[in-house]
Structure 1
Amino acid sequence: MDRVDLHRVCSEAALQFPAVTVEQPFGPDSDVYKVKGRMFMFLAELDGEAIVNLKADPEDSGALRQAYPEITPGYHMNKRHWITVTGGKNLTAALLRELVIDSYRLVVEKLPRHRRPVDPETFGSA
């Protein structure tokens, strides 16, 4: 998965979810994806390399970092609750979409029930 595909796959996945907005509070070179005003994904370039920051369950993030060298603790984020994904041969579009869905769900479940655009327990389930 190269850097262009990394951002494209993650962006396409996120834009299909209800109540998603995209902002550029840090300038035109980075995109912040939010649901109901809360960030769940950050796309940018770091030293010429595409990165994607995603919220992750702390238990899952450790396993992901062990399984994929492209997944590291969240750059400029809480290292326990966020991961950074870079391009690499081990990543698939399906895995990226799953990580984006998980990030979205984690943020939605922290919203008050009346503000949730989806049920985080069932959203994205087959």
Structure 2
Amino acid sequence: MSITGEQLQQTARSAARDLPGTDQGRPFVDKLDVYKVAGKVFLIVTDDPDERIVTVKVEPDHGRSLRRRYPSITPGRYLDKKHWPSVGAGEEITEHMIRDLVDHSYELVLDSVPRARRPRAGGEGRRKG
């Protein structure tokens, strides 16, 4: 079942907040809600009622596959277009898919962080299941 743009954004925000070591702020402009782990961006939520999208990090091949399969997934608006697709509401976009994309983006970014700077797994706020 597809979701609305508002549900998409709420799901992405909730998924990000559930991950350990997540910080949220607006370091760029007022309309971009940015989520980071260990100081690195893994999710951007466009806080604009006329442009309800989220932007996540993916491997380039996965990003190309997503863009081919889902019309509402486009090259990222704010970051490197090869690694950062933007996701809008669409027929096949589900809450489960958004949670998976946020989790995957978080893990990709976390893999680039030295172990000593990574948040502890299983810490408070970690999503279960």
TM-score using structure 2 length = 0.86
Q: 1:19 aligns with which of 21, 25, 29?
A: 21
Structure 2, unaligned runs of 5 or more: none
Partner of 1:76: 78
TM-score using structure 1 length = 0.88
Q: Secondary structure at the match of 2:52?
A: strand
Contact 2:33 2:47 in 1 (8 A): no
Partner of 1:112: 114
Q: Secondary structure at the match of 1:22?
A: strand
Which structure 2 residues correspond to residues 28-107 of structure 1 after superposition, within 5 A? Answer: 28-45=30-47, 48-107=50-109
**Alignment-mate amino acid for residue 113 of structure 1:** R
Structure 1, unaligned runs of 5 or more: none
**Alignment-mate amino acid for residue 57 of structure 1:** E
**Alignment-mate amino acid for residue 75 of structure 1:** R
Q: For CA contacts below 8 A with separation 6 or more, give which structure has more relative contact order.
A: 2
**Alignment-mate amino acid for residue 38 of structure 1:** K
Q: Secondary structure at the match of 1:49?
A: coil
1:20 and 1:76 map into 2 onto residues whose CA distance is 20
2:32 and 2:48 map into 1 onto residues whose CA distance is 10
- How much identity, in percent, do the aligned residues show? 36
Contact 2:77 2:86 in 1 (8 A): yes
Between 1:18-27 and 1:4-13, the stretch displaced more is 18-27
Contact 1:56 1:82 in 2 (8 A): yes
Cα RMSD for the two superposed structures: 2.2
